[in-house]
Amino acid sequence: MAFESIKDIPAVGFGLWKIGPEICEDTVYEAIKCGYRHLDAACDYGNEVEVGRGIQRALADGICTREELWVTSKLWNTYHRAEHVTPALDRTLNDLQLEYLDLYLIHFPIALEFVPFETRYPPEWFFDPDTSDPCMKPSRVPLSDTWHSMEKLKAEGKAKHIGVCNYSSGLLHDLMNYCTTPPELLQIESHPYLTQEKLVRLAKQYGLEVTAFSPLGSLSYVELDMASQDESILEQAVVQEIASRLECSAAQVVLAWGVQRGTSVVVKSMNPERMEQNLAAAEIELSENDIQAISALNQNRRYNDPGVFCEGAFNTFHPIYD
């Protein structure tokens, strides 16, 4: 089935963050073979060439057609200036070996000084990692300039849909005031410890779809030393009780909660069994009581916070949510 509108974005997508280039082509191929029809990529993940190879192999093997696959990517922080937005998308399309993206998102509401492709790709957060005291170099680019360039990409058909990630409600109100073409989707961190109810509600009120990244919460951050194994949502008694009653896994309960509250979710697993089980979570039906019980776990716990990691890892204090 081809996608007709932003509302057709498949509910469970496969996330490509932190998948090393050496295993990425095979992982993408296996994900598509397993049934995923929504891939969540980004320039900054540093693996778009390999993602492209995995996609092309799956298409060549007839597993699905290009029209049946939803591919999202994201504009990196160093390409916010109007003149850099089109080349950034072109580079992503070239790496992915695609003619168009289904969705292109501004990755962060953070503009950093431009770094040419030849200097470093992807440029990541440091302006110059080789100096004795590397740090981020914010650039004075209004988000409205970047958005107007995103609008052009949609008009040209290079991105079927456009949207933003990691925007707060204040930035979203502002965007709705200056846009000519409205954003169609907001991607944010959301899981039972960070339900973001007001932001999700506001996005929907403005007609945006919402995608939740890190839908399993802390699990994504253990390998980065940004969370500990023992704070997993999957260990919560309420989640375990629902899982045993519905005879499914705790992860499926948490993903089903994300889908049933009206967000799509992007999740990755390198384990074939979990890959399959995560995709099947979209079919699990939770009762209203179950949904409320899981929502009550909220503690506004954000794992992916530039106000914390930019200082810790990139030597630069740069909060965006506070």
Considering only residues 188 to 217 of the shown chain, the ones binding ligand A2P according to CB under 6 A are 214, 216
302 binds ligand A2P (CB under 6 A): no
Report DSSP letters for 191-236, one per residue.
BTTB--HHHHHHHHHTT-EEEEESTTGGGGGTTTTSS-GGG-GGG-
Report DSSP letters for 111-174, one per residue.
-B----TTT-SS--S-S-TTSSS----B----HHHHHHHHHHHHHHTSEEEEEEES--HHHHHH
15 binds ligand A2P (CB under 6 A): yes
Of 138, 171, 166, the C-alpha closest to 317 is 138
Q: Taking CB under 6 A as the rule, which mask of x and - marks residues 221-260 in contact with ligand A2P?
A: ----------------------------x-x---------
Closer residue to ligand A2P in complex, CB, 46/183: 46
Q: What secondary structure letter does DSSP report for 241?
A: H
- 40 beta partners: 15, 72
Instruction: Name the segment binding ligand A2P (CB under 6 A); options: 61-69, 113-121, 199-207, 261-269.
Output: 261-269
Instruction: Name the segment binding ligand A2P (CB under 6 A); options: 94-102, 195-203, 274-282, 300-308.
Output: 274-282
Q: How many CA atoms lie within 13 A of 4 on its CB side?
A: 1
Q: What secondary structure letter does DSSP report for 62?
A: T
The radius of gyration of the chain from alpha carbons, rounded to an integer in Å, stands at 19
Q: Which of 196, 220, 236, 260 binds ligand A2P (CB under 6 A)?
A: 220
CB contact set of 312 (below 8 Å; sequence gap of 6+): none
Closer residue to ligand A2P in complex, CB, 152/274: 274
271 binds ligand A2P (CB under 6 A): yes
Count helices and strands (H / E) in the chain: 11, 8
Q: Spot the catalytic one: 29, 36, 45, 104.
A: 45
- Please say if 45 is a catalytic residue: yes
Closer residue to ligand A2P in complex, CB, 155/270: 270
268 binds ligand A2P (CB under 6 A): yes
Q: Which of 72, 187, 236, 269 binds ligand A2P (CB under 6 A)?
A: 269
**Cβ–Cβ under 8 Å, residues 58 and 33:** yes
Closer residue to ligand A2P in complex, CB, 183/258: 258
Measured distance CA(214)–CA(211) in Å, rounded = 10
Instruction: Name the segment binding ligand A2P (CB under 6 A); options: 101-109, 163-171, 271-279, 302-310.
Output: 271-279
Closest contact distance (angstroms) between CB of 17 and ligand A2P is 5
Closer residue to ligand A2P in complex, CB, 204/274: 274
274 binds ligand A2P (CB under 6 A): yes
The contact set with ligand A2P (CB under 6 A) reads: 15, 17, 214, 216, 219-220, 249, 251, 267-271, 274, 277-278
Residues acting as catalytic residues:
45
